Amino acid sequence: MIKDIQNDIIKLKKEKDVCILAHSYVAQEIKEIADFTGDSFALAVKSANVPQKTVIMCGVRFMAETVKILAPEKRVILSNPIAGCPMAEQMDRELIEQVKEQYPDYAVVAYINTTADLKTICDVCVTSSSAVEICRKIDSDKILFIPDINLGSYVAQQLPEKEFKLLSGGCPRHAMISEKKVLEAIKAHPKAKVLVHPECKPEVVKHADYVGSTSGIMNFAKESKDREFIIGTEISIAEELQYECPDKKFYPMAKDLICSNMKATTLVDVLNCLKGTFGEEITMEEEKRLQAKKCIDEMIRLG
């Protein structure tokens, strides 16, 4: 049954000149039919250069918006209209405009998990894989980092020479992991290396042997000579690693760390997007798109 739907998708996407992009957190059966799978940074960079006329983004809304910003000539379909990212909705343009007035000499660095509207007033975007490098390179020693306080704290710790102002936003899923959970996992698997996403709280991150994006965590685990790993991010990463590296052992740090938004898209949704009966086409005013594009272009230039 799954194979049949996958075969229909593969046939239709070729006939209709469609590229399917999938974030690493979506269901495995979707990643199997995707043309490209990766973390937020890789998906953003890839989307600007795909040859197909239509892109179906299997992920969350801000990712589909990013594709539209970078490739306005393409039809961009969000695979399931309910798939938002709670963090991206936490702060709006009006709020950040007020904060900017209080800190006029700070560069505004926005995690890519923000709306297109908010990106229009930011100086540069970052992803979890590029945040430290971009904050290091940007031509300002004062940084207002939005919206993720945990990623912001991690970056600030790596760059003590810069001054950071953080606001209290973040990923509700990653923030669920407590220090107690990490210590329990380490006690249960003392030989395992601890790999953690920087959206986790600082008291969790401090126990990590490696901190990085979803792709960073996967690459680290695949290339490592170690055999056991505790994975501190969405559960699909531990599952995929276990599938790809059967000779190693992967333990999810929290079995309930599931992003329901990333999991909102089903294989049938993707098929229906291709048939034109489901999904949401992303549209954007040209002025807003050009404003938002500046900080994504800056991210790609510095990243």
Partner interacting with residue 40 (select from ligand SF4, ligand 13P, none; CB below 5-8 Å by kind): ligand 13P
For Cα atoms 112, 265, 71, give the angle at the middle one, nearest 5 degrees.
Answer: 45
Q: Quick count: other Cβ atoms within 10 Å of Cβ 42? A: 19
Q: Quick count: other Cβ atoms within 10 Å of Cβ 289? A: 18
Partner interacting with residue 83 (select from ligand 13P, ligand SF4, none; CB below 5-8 Å by kind): none
Q: What is d(CA 284, CA 194) in angstroms, rounded to the nearest whole number?
A: 41
Q: Which of 16, 86, 100, 120 binds ligand SF4 (CB under 6 A)?
A: 86
- Helices of type H across the chain: 2-15, 28-31, 40-47, 61-70, 93-102, 116-119, 131-137, 149-158, 179-188, 202-205, 214-223, 235-244, 267-275, 286-302
In the shown chain, the binding pattern of residues 2 to 41 toward ligand SF4, with x for contact by CB under 6 A and - for none, equals ----------------------------------------
Asked if 259 touches ligand SF4 (CB under 6 A), the answer is yes
Asked if 113 touches ligand SF4 (CB under 6 A), the answer is yes
Total site size for ligand SF4, rule CB under 6 A: 13
Show contacts with ligand SF4 in window 232-251 (CB under 6 A): 234
Q: CB of 161: closest distance to ligand SF4 in angstroms?
A: 28
Choose the binding region for ligand SF4 from 124-132, 149-157, 170-178, 188-196 (rule: CB under 6 A).
170-178
Kindly calculate the radius of gyration of the chain based on its CA atoms and give it in whole angstroms. Answer: 19
Count of CA atoms in the C-beta half-sphere (13 A) of 148: 31
Both structure tokens of 173: 């899923």
Show contacts with ligand 13P in window 218-277 (CB under 6 A): none
Q: Measured from the CB atom, is 260 or 283 closer to ligand SF4?
A: 260
Strands 107-111 and 249-252: unpaired
Residues that bind ligand 13P in the complex, under the rule CB under 6 A = 39-40, 85, 113, 127-129, 171, 199, 213-214
